[in-house]
Structure 1
Amino acid sequence: MEEEEDLETYGEQLYSLIYPKHKENAGKLTGMLLELPCPVLSQILQDEAMLTTAVDKAVIALQLAQDPSKVTCKDEDEVSMSSDSLGEQLFELVDVYNTGYSQKITGMLLEQHQETVLSLLSDPKLLEEQVKSALKTLKEQNEEETDISDLSDVDDSERLGEKLFGLVEQLDPLHANDITGMLLEMDPASLQQLLKDHTMLEVAVQRAQAALDT
């Protein structure tokens, strides 16, 4: 029940922010964003830049859904030339779900026939199903890898923790211990991404700070 109440609150807040710029499609765009997990919605409502990015991506998805011809090619040469842009468009839509695996999931989806990829661009529901399926597969693979190498994982997690602490300490020396502990609950693949991508790390630290403040 609590989650439904949260969604209703988020929906009202999102709608009031989206409506001034997108009067005609405010309802649809709000509905698309409400497909995201609650923690992501909370972060979006606190971060104007994240909100703008998410709305822009939802607008692109909506345009493609309303007019699939924008991504439909007329001849073979155009089809082969458009594969890169297809990948870019698909990545933009997959990234809205904020899974932490946008690149990998996009790659998995692009392995399908081009007609299927085109249908993903024009059908948000189908895209959501395939994103969830790909995410489940990736998580299962990570769990299997963890089971196989439990002993080495102890050493790896210690090294990860040390590296992560050093980076978090630069951003928030006061809460570095608590924040590092919270981030270490993430799966190893996401932690590796945080170590490589400073922007992702900053966002994760901000979320942890918000959780500590509550």
Structure 2
Amino acid sequence: MENCLELEKFSVNIYMQKYGAFSQVLLISCQREAKEALGPQLFAAVADIDQELCAQLTGMLLELPLSSLASLLTNRDELQKAARKARTEYLRFIQEKESYKIEWSDACLSEKKESIGELLYEKLLVDHPTDAAKLTGMLLQMDDQSLVKVMENSEMLKKMVETSLEALRNCDENESK
């Protein structure tokens, strides 16, 4: 552990020049080892500041250089400031992620509906070539879950198509009167 902390004092470039590529692997390994050793201590200190997000904040703070971690562990004011900053960044990240997830799911739903529409049209074209487009449009008005169930069950699809054809015939009859 002491050797790892001493290695941290060297800049990576100077250390690389002096000891070569293998030493970079050793340096990285020692830094990781040192951070793992400091993790529980940092977690306990962060938990005193923010119990709700202490695990996430500790993970974020462990990304800092070892020298910064050592400074945070010895200076409570610095640790509070760093924890607040990490919390702000974490909450912003979560908010952006949720916003993106909503946009992505909306895009996925419209793409899925378009794909289902294409499959549905091809299925309907075989038995109902003149009404396939109208029937597809009518069936696509269903909610997504029902539409998926209908597509997976040929008997349900057949019943829905019959119901839709009946509605089309009634509509055609009313228009001709």
Higher helix share: 2
After TM superposition, is the score higher than 0.5?
no
**Structure 1 length normalisation: TM-score?**
0.33
**Structure 2 length normalisation: TM-score?**
0.40
